[in-house]
C-alpha cells in the first residue's frame, strides 16, 4: 500500500463515509476507507426513528446494515486515524497514527464531530469516573443509580429516555426554559416518571474524590445548590473533527465546519468533504443528510478524477 497512489481515500467510517464508499464503488472508483472503527457516532443512537423506510432501528444495527452493504463491493479498509494531510503537486500524502504514509489523488473527509466539553471544574479529572459523553455506551454502568443528563437538545432528551430505562432516577438539567429537541421526543419524556427536568440551570462544578459524587448548580434546586449523583452524561452539542484539514489549508467557517460547494468540493482541488463535519445541508446534522452529502461527494470525486486523470 505504501507506494501505490490511491485514487480516493475516504477518511471516516460513519454514515457519510459508508455512503461515499457505496457510491464510489458503483462509480468504479477504487478507494480506501480509513477510520478507527466503522459506524461513526450513529452507532451510539439507541433508537433511530427518522431513517426513511425503517420505523425504528438501533444505531448499531443501522450502521451494520450500511457497512454490510458497502462491503459487498469489497472496498479496502484500514483501521486507523489520519493524523496529517499534505498537499503535493500531484497528490495528497496522508500520515496515519501508525506512521503509514498513504498517497492519494483525491480525498473525501467525513470525520464527523466530537462531543463538546462543558469546560467546568471537575470535568477533566472525572471523565471515565462517572462522566460520560455517550449514554448508549456507558448507560449500563449506572443501573439503579442516579444520573444527570446535561443539555436540552434532541440527543440530551434521547439520552435521558434511554437512561431512564435502567437508572433509578434521571435528572435533565438545561439552561433554557424548555427542551429544544424534536417535539416527538420532548412529549415522550413527560411520560417517564423517573425523569425530572431542571430547567434554567447551569452546572458549575462536578465534585468527587475518585468518582462523581455531586454537582454544584448555579441556583438552588429543592433548597440546595448541590445535587447528589452517581453519573453525569454531557450532551451539549458537538464540534467538528476538522483540525487536521484546516492545517492542510482547507477552508472552514467560524465554527470550524468545512466549507463545501454544491458537489462536496472544498477550496482545494481533489479534496471533498461530507457529513456532520461540513457546513452543508443548512447545518442540519443527521444520518440522512450525512448520507446524502457522502453520495454527492462521491459523485464530485468521480467527475474530478475523470477531468484530471
Ligand atoms: C446519541 C446520538 C443519537 C443520534 N440520533 C440520531 C437520530 O436518531 N437520527 C439521526 O438522523 N441522527 C442521529 N444522530 C446524529 C448522527 O449520528 C450523525 O449526524 C451522523 O452519525 C454523522 O455522520 P458522519 O458520517 O458525518 O460522522 P460520524 O458518524 O461522526 O463518523 C465520523 C467517523 O470519522 C472518524 N474520524 C474522525 N476523524 C478521523 C481521522 N482523522 N481519521 C480517520 N477517521 C476519523 C470517526 O472516528 C468516526 O468514526 C445521533 C447522534 C448521537 C451521538
The reported pLDDT for the residue numbered 181 is: 86
Q: Which atom of ligand 1 is nearest to the CA of 274?
A: 26
Q: CB of 290 closer than 6 A to ligand 1?
A: yes
Alpha-carbon Rg for the chain in angstroms? 21
**pLDDT for res 4:** 86
Rounded distance, CA 62 to CA 215, Å? 36
| pLDDT given at position 45 | 85
- Say how far apart CA 11 and CA 276 lie, in whole Å: 13
Give 141 Cα–ligand 1 centroid separation in angstroms.
23
pLDDT score at 191: 93
Our answer on whether the CB atom of 163 is closer than 6 Å to any ligand 1 atom is no
Give the C-alpha separation, 116 to 298, whole Å: 29
Is 179 a pocket residue for ligand 1 (Cβ < 6 Å)? no
- Which atom of ligand 1 lies closest to the CA of 12? 34
pLDDT value for 156? 95
Residue 219 CA, ligand 1 centroid: distance in Å: 34
CA atoms of 49 and 299, how far apart (whole Å): 28
**Ligand 1: which of 9, 45, 99, 100 to mutate, judged by most atoms within 8 Å of the beta carbon?**
45
The string of pLDDT tens digits covering residues 221-265 is 999 999 999 999 999 999 998 889 999 999 999 999 999 999 999
- Reduced 3-state DSSP string for the chain: CCCCEEEEEEECCCHHHHHHHHHHHHCCCCEEEEECCCCCHHHHCCCECCCCCCCCECHHHHHHHHHHHHHCCCCEEEECCEEEEEECCCCEEEEECCCCEEEEEEEEECCCEEECCCCCCCHHHHECCCEECCHHHHHHHHCCCEEEEECCCHHHHHHHHHHHCCCCEEEEECCCCCCCCCHHHHHHHCCCCCEEEECCCCEEEEECCCCCCEEEEEEEECCEEEEECCEEEECCCEEECCHHHHHCCCCECCCCCECCCCCCECCCCCEEECCCCECCHHHCCCHHHHHHHHHHHHHHHHHHHHHHC
Q: Using CA positions, which residue lies closest to atom 1 of ligand 1?
A: 45
Mean of pLDDT values over 66-86: 98
Residue 112 Cβ < 6 Å to ligand 1: yes
Is residue 18's pLDDT more than 80?
yes
Q: Is the pLDDT of residue 70 over 80?
A: yes
CA-CA-CA-CA torsion for 296, 27, 66, 268, nearest 10 degrees?
-40
Q: What's the pLDDT at 3?
A: 63
List the grid coordinates of 151. Answer: 443539555
In tens, the pLDDT along 144-165 reads: 999 999 999 998 999 999 999 9
For the segment 171-186, what is each residue's pLDDT rounded down to a tens digit? 999 999 999 988 999 9
Chain segment 22-48, per-residue pLDDT in tens? 999 999 999 999 999 999 999 988 888
113 in ligand 1 pocket by Cβ < 6 Å?
yes
Percent residues over pLDDT 70 in the chain = 99
Distance of CA 235 from the midpoint of ligand 1 (Å): 14
- Please determine, for residue 1, whether its predicted confidence score (pLDDT) is greater than 60: no
Q: Is 287 in the pocket of ligand 1 (CB under 6 A)?
A: yes
Q: Is the pTM of this model over 0.95?
A: no
Per-residue model confidence (pLDDT) at position 72: 98
Q: Is 94 in the pocket of ligand 1 (CB under 6 A)?
A: no
Position 90 confidence tier, pLDDT thresholds 50, 70, 90: confident
- The pLDDT tens digits of the residues spanning 95-139 come to 999 999 999 999 999 999 999 999 999 999 999 899 999 998 899
Round to whole Å and give the CA distance between 295 and 93. Answer: 24
Amino acid at each position: 500500500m505504501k507506494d501505490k497512489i490511491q485514487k480516493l481515500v475516504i477518511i471516516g467510517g460513519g454514515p457519510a463515509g459508508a455512503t461515499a464508499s457505496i457510491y464510489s464503488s458503483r462509480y468504479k472508483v477504487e478507494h480506501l476507507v480509513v477510520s478507527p472503527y466503522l459506524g461513526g457516532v450513529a452507532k451510539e443512537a439507541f433508537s433511530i426513528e427518522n431513517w426513511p423506510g425503517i420505523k425504528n432501528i438501533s444505531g448499531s444495527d443501522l450502521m451494520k446494515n450500511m457497512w454490510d452493504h458497502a462491503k459487498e463491493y469489497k472496498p479496502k479498509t484500514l483501521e486507523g486515524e489520519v493524523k496529517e494531510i499534505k498537499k503535493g503537486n500531484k497528490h495528497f500524502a496522508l500520515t496515519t497514527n501508525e506512521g503509514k504514509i498513504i498517497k492519494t489523488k483525491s480525498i473525501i473527509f467525513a470525520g464527523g464531530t466530537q462531543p463538546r466539553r462543558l469546560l467546568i471544574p471537575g470535568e477533566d479529572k472525572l471523565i471515565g469516573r462517572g462522566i460520560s459523553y455517550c449514554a448508549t455506551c456507558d448507560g449500563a454502568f449506572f443501573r439503579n443509580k442516579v444520573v444527570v443528563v446535561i443539555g436540552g437538545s434532541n440527543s440530551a432528551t434521547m439520552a435521558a429516555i434511554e437512561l431512564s430505562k435502567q437508572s433509578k432516577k434521571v435528572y435533565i438539567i438545561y439552561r433554557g426554559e424548555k427542551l429544544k429537541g424534536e417535539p416527538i421526543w420532548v412529549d415522550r419524556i413527560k411520560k417517564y416518571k423517573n425523569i425530572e427536568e431542571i430547567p434554567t440551570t447551569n452546572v458549575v462544578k462536578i465534585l468527587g474524590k475518585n468518582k462523581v459524587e455531586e454537582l454544584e448548580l448555579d441556583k438552588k434546586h429543592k433548597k440546595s445548590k448541590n445535587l447528589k449523583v452517581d453519573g453525569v452524561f454531557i450532551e451539549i452539542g458537538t464540534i467538528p473533527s476538522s483540525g487536521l484539514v484546516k492545517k492542510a489549508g482547507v477552508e472552514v467557517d467560524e465554527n470550524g465546519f468545512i466549507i463545501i460547494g454544491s458537489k462536496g468540493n472544498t477550496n482545494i482541488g481533489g479534496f471533498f468533504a461530507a457529513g456532520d463535519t461540513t457546513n452543508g445541508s443548512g447545518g442540519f446534522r443527521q444520518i440522512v443528510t450525512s448520507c446524502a452529502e457522502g453520495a454527492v461527494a462521491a459523485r464530485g470525486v468521480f467527475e474530478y478524477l475523470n477531468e484530471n486523470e
